[in-house]
Chains A and B, each alone.
Chain A
Amino acid sequence: MFLKKIALAGGLTLAASGASAACDISDGRVSIVGNEFPAIHTVAKGAQACSGGVEVRANLTADHQKINVAGMTGNPAEYTSAIIANSSIVALINEDVIRPLDDLVAAHGQDIQPSQLITVDGKIMAVAFMANAQHLVYRADVLEEIGVEPPKTYEDMLAAAEVIRSKGIMQNPIGGAYKAGWNLAQEFNNMFIGYGGEFFKPGTAEVSINNEKGVAALEMMKSLSEYMNPDFLTHDSNATNAEFRAGNVALMNMWGSRAATIPDADGVSQEVKDHMEIAGPMTVGGGSVPATTLWWDGWTVAKNISDADAEATFKAMKAGIDPSIVTDETRSQAVWLIEGYEPTAAAQGVFAALEMGSVPYPMLPYQGLLHSALGAELSDFMQGRESAEDALADVEAAYTAAAREKGFLQ
């Protein structure tokens, strides 16, 4: 297995090389923007621990995607580092607000594993520290009660949900992060990939989702939503996890980065704590590629800052992903791409996603426009007010208008 080999090699390297050099920032400014799930807090804390005479500030928010480009566009940039993923780095590259890290890696990062280096056209643009994917999270006791194996396909998930409801165990056993906007679009992306769809005509920026695969993806999403809390269009990952913690949900497609910490909250019943289980992502429509996407999370360094600030930022962020940050407490927060990491049971969902040949979220410069169009246009269909074909036609039209404005289409 790819990541296990990395972990093993990393372990050997660690044994051979001994402790990393001490952190010695004495000059420069470090300001971080990133998402707010537990692993990223761990990285930010690690960076802040390496401060010397420099204050390391971190703004970790679910709305990071709304502010990172703007925050790095000014000169000097407000944020010296953005913690991003393979989808959100594209906007930073498109707008040319991050700098290549080749020189800084050569000077200060020779112990970073090559597989952690994100290169675009041969230039290192980011350093990855974890892998992520959406996969099945379920209540083992509920499935046992109805005599059903953990679903491997979405069709099986629907069947299990129907049994759970008909036996009166839960009224809405499926949880889904289907909030209109980014989350809803991402669930469509997953399902479309599971049906074997390709978002664009090969080699072009012309969208290609209004077809039988797109329709099938939407119909499956609609079927699933009938077993969800009626408020599903207002539920993001946090709200969906809250439903699971409250014991209202038995099955959900959830991020690996959040799944491991679901039981770690005040007020979670012992039943949920004892019986929450993790499994690999599901397939759909008879396909073999799972209905999910692979993600790396990593950090970048802003272009519009001084070389001294860039160096300070690089050192701080490298300290943020030092092997020492992986402790008994933090190990389960992520599938860390850091040497010395030993996988936990919580990581099996992401590892399964890798083993099953899941595809990475596309790093195309116009993927974000399609993502936004999906988020804005699928609500009517999900409420039963529009056909799948009409909804997909709306998405294509919205994407095309935006792509023309942004210069990707004529």
Chain B
Amino acid sequence: MKHKTFFWFFLPTATAMFLFIALPIASVVIQSLFTPHDQVLITVENCGPFGCREQVTVDTAATEALRKAQPLGQWAGLSVYLDRGHLAVNEVAAAWAGTDTMGQFMGRIQNLPFYRALSFTLTYTFVATPLLIILGLMIALAVNSLHRHLKGLAIFFSLLPMIVTPLIGSLILFWMIDSRGILGSGLQWLMNDPNLSLKAATGLTWIMLIVYGVWSSAPFAFVVFYAGLQTLPKDTLESAMIDGATRWQQVRYVIVPHLMPLVTFVALIQLMDNFRVFEPIVGFNAEAHATSLSWIIFNDLGGETRLLSSAAATSVLTIIGVAILLSPVLVRTWRDFNGKA
């Protein structure tokens, strides 16, 4: 393709990416470096149905003047990044100095919000991603082997978990896995433990969220692999069969290598998506047991307190995390690209 042609072809995408990705990221970075002005507090008398009392409140006139003078707030540099709600460098140092064993140290770290969220996020990402790839491949192979009249129906049902909106899907399952729900009660009966509840134990909640994540994302892997299977050369497969390859050997030596570029693609997409896990935590009311980076951002932005600088800092850290996660895949892709040129 001529460079000129590519330029014009790419220009709309580049413009959209600049407007909707680059500029928002720049805005978030800037916001993470500023905090609101020091509050001007005054004591006033508040009255209502329960009588009057002296109470502290914000002096809105003085605050308005401060905001007009410096709309961005006050410069904070990296202090938000380093505070207890984020990288917590002081707290980590104190934990390191104050504990005797690695186990104790990790326990203290786990108690800090960012690392608590990061531990679930990373566990979820690195467990759910390979599992959903495997499950997606299994479904694709199974559907591909069906009689053509059954394929349409099987494809429809296989895609259902992806069609359902994640928040709605998790809300529905939330009631089913409740200790009063059909799945929750079934598990209690199966394990002969009337106090067993997926919502009551942190370990079980993590497993539940990961299973849900695999179930809801496997259709994406399935549809990609299924498409890839349609391009598999039949003669290669037939040669393998003639040579006496077993079903497993056919899959391992012929099908998987053929699909490997797609595995890379699915891994790329799903690492990014899973690192931003959020909807199941909200839908399952799981925040007592599992939080994620995205949940922290949501929690900071919501409610009456709106910690905008904190949310911005966590957003930047999430972007950095995604970049780190994807770097091996990108490096490999780049190397492959250079190798072929």
Contacts and interface: CB of A to CB of B under 8 A. Distances in A.
Contact of B49 (A115, A230, A371): A115
Interface stretch (A250-258, A265-273, A316-324, A400-408): A400-408
Contacts of B113: 376, 398
B312 to A, nearest CB: 11
Interface residues of B, number: 55
Contact of A376 (B48, B60, B286, B299): B299
A96 interface: yes
A371 B302 CA distance: 13
Given A119-B47, A402-B307, A94 B197 contact: no
Contacts of B76: 405
Contacts of A93: 57-58, 60
B217 interface: no
Contact of B50 (A122, A182, A296): A296
Interface stretch (B9-17, B79-87, B232-240, B255-263): B79-87
A369 B305 contact: yes
Contacts of B166: none
Contacts of A66: 302-303
Interface stretch (A11-19, A82-90, A210-218): A82-90
Given A372-B303, A406-B307, A407-B36, A180 B47 contact: no
Secondary structure type dominating chain B contacts:
loop
Contact of A407 (B39, B83, B288): B39
A131 interface: yes
Nearest to A179: B285
A302 to B, nearest CB: 14
B35 A405 contact: yes
Interface in A51-104: 63, 65-66, 69-70, 86-88, 90-91, 93-96
Contact of B55 (A96, A364, A401, A405): A364
Interface residues of A, number: 72
Interface string A376-410: 10011011001000100010011011101111101
Contacts of A122: 44-45
Contacts of A301: none
Contacts of A119: 45-48
A65 B303 contact: yes
B170 interface: no
Contacts of A347: none
A96 B60 CA distance: 6
A175 interface: no
Interface in B151-189: 178-180
Interface in B272-324: 284-289, 299, 302-307, 309-310
Contacts of B53: 360
Contacts of A296: 48-50
Most buried by A among B37, B60, B289: B60
Given A88-B304, A233-B288, A380-B111, 12 more contacts: A6-B49, A128-B48, A131-B50, A230-B200, A294-B50, A296-B50, A360-B53, A371-B304, A376-B113, A382-B288, A405-B35, A406-B36
Interface of B: 35-39, 41-42, 44-50, 53, 55-58, 60, 63-64, 74, 76, 80, 83-85, 91, 111, 113, 178-180, 194-195, 197, 199-200, 202, 284-289, 299, 302-307, 309-310
8 A-B pairs with least C-beta separation: A180-B288, A91-B304, A230-B200, A121-B44, A233-B288, A66-B302, A234-B285, A379-B288
Interface of A: 3, 6, 63, 65-66, 69-70, 86-88, 90-91, 93-96, 115-122, 128, 131, 171, 179-182, 184, 203, 205, 229-231, 233-234, 246, 294, 296, 337, 354, 360, 362-365, 368-369, 371-372, 376, 379-380, 382-383, 386, 390, 394, 397-398, 400-402, 404-408, 410
